[in-house]
Amino acid sequence: MKPLLAGFFMIGLAAAAKDSCLECHSMLEGDLQAPAKAFGGDIHSKHGFRCNDCHGGDPNSDDLEISMSASRGFVGKPPRTAIPKLCARCHSDATVIHKFRPQQRVDQLAQYQTSVHGKRLATGDEAVATCIDCHSVHDIRETKDPQSPTYPLRLPETCARCHANAEHMAKYKISTTQFADYQTSVHWRALSKGNDLSAPNCATCHGNHGATPPQVTSVAEVCGTCHVVFKELFSKSPHQAPFADLGACVVCHSNHGIQRPSDKMLAGSSAVCSQCHDENSAGGKAALEMASLITKLDESVQRSDQILERSRSYGMEVSEALLRQNEAKENLIKARVAVHAFRVDDVRKRVTDGLAVTQDTWNSGTEALRERDHRRVGLAVSLSFILITLAGLWLTIRRIEASPRASTPQG
Residue 141 lies in a domain: no
- Looking at every residue in the chain, the average pLDDT score rounds to 90
For position 374, which CATH number holds?
1.20.140
Residue 371 lies in a domain: yes
The list of the chain residues with pLDDT below 70 reads: 1-17, 405-411
Residue 182 lies in a domain: no
306 and 351: one domain?
Answer: yes
255 and 286: one domain?
Answer: no
What is the pLDDT, as a whole number, of residue 379? 86
- How many domains is the chain built from? 2
What is the pLDDT, as a whole number, of residue 6? 45
Residue 98 lies in a domain: no
What is the pLDDT, as a whole number, of residue 138? 95
330 and 376: one domain?
Answer: yes
What is the pLDDT, as a whole number, of residue 268? 84
244 and 307: one domain?
Answer: no
Residue 46 lies in a domain: no
231 and 320: one domain?
Answer: no
Tell which of 260, 293, 313 closes a domain.
Answer: 260
332 and 396: one domain?
Answer: yes
Residue 330's alpha-carbon distances to 305, 343, 359, 401, in angstroms, are 14, 19, 15, 71
What is the pLDDT, as a whole number, of residue 55? 93
287 and 334: one domain?
Answer: yes
What is the pLDDT, as a whole number, of residue 408? 54
pTM of the full predicted structure? 0.80
Residue numbers of the domain that contains 358: 282-402
